[in-house]
A and B are shown apart, each in its own frame.
Chain A
Amino acid sequence: ETGVTQTPRHLVMGMTNKKSLKCEQHLGHNAMYWYKQSAKKPLELMFVYNFKEQTENNSVPSRFSPECPNSSHLFLHLHTLQPEDSALYLCASSQGAEYTGELFFGEGSRLTVL
């Protein structure tokens, strides 16, 4: 498979659950990103990994915990979330974090927190 793949596509969880989102890219890119997308709002950058090292954490609450075991895989671990965390979570990759070029997005994981 090519491109950026995210699983699961849909997730419903209670506030006390622990779950994880997974992202995989087959493009040979060195940078991976997590974005939060809410209706009628700008895309919110959450985390950036460049060559497996976290280079950006945009004041994201600790209930979101990223993990990047290698440059092809990115996880977002979720625990004790709030209903306002319900959103579409998009993973993206690019050639490098300091690069003016295309971001390749996954289809997203639609998260609903009850």
Chain B
Amino acid sequence: GENVEQHPSTLSVQEGDSAVIKCTYSDSASNYFPWYKQELGKRPQLIIDIRSNVGEKKDQRIAVTLNKTAKHFSLHITETQPEDSAVYFCASMDSNYQLIWGAGTKLIIKP
């Protein structure tokens, strides 16, 4: 069935540097790709999403890129700050409107 692979599982970057998290999906009919951030002990919250008719979307320090041909999408965070420390989850929505989730990336921002 449909699955989403997310890498890396843990990412440690120096404060101020950039972070990139990558996901690949298998269902070519997938058309919606959200990213959620979950801080320790908190609920997952949507931070950015992209639809299949768009190749890139930016929101301040956060951007998402989508390559439909290769079936992968990435989250880019620039000028990382301590409050960016969290677990980030990617997902893709299949043709039955069901979200298929990645296993998460723990992002650690080193001071």
Decide if A and B are genuine partners.
yes
Residues of A within 8 A of B (CB): 4, 40-43, 45, 56, 90, 97-100, 102-103, 105-108
CB-defined contacts of B32 to chain A, threshold 8 Å: 100
By beta carbon, the residue of chain A nearest B44 is A105
Residues of B13-49 whose CB lies within 8 A of A: 31-32, 34, 36, 42-46, 49
CB-defined contacts of A40 to chain B, threshold 8 Å: 9, 103-104
CB-defined contacts of A43 to chain B, threshold 8 Å: 44, 89, 91, 99, 101
Interface of A: prevailing SS: loop
Interface residues of B, count at CB 8 A: 24
Counting residue pairs across A and B whose Cβ atoms lie within 8 Å, the total is 45
Max chain B C-beta neighbours (<10 A), residue from A45, A99, A100, A106: A100
Shortest Cβ distance from B38 into chain A, in angstroms?
A: 9
Given A56-B98, A90-B44, A108-B43: A100 and B104 within 8 A (CB)? no
CB-defined contacts of B101 to chain A, threshold 8 Å: 42-43
Inter-chain contact B4/A42, CB cutoff 8 Å: yes
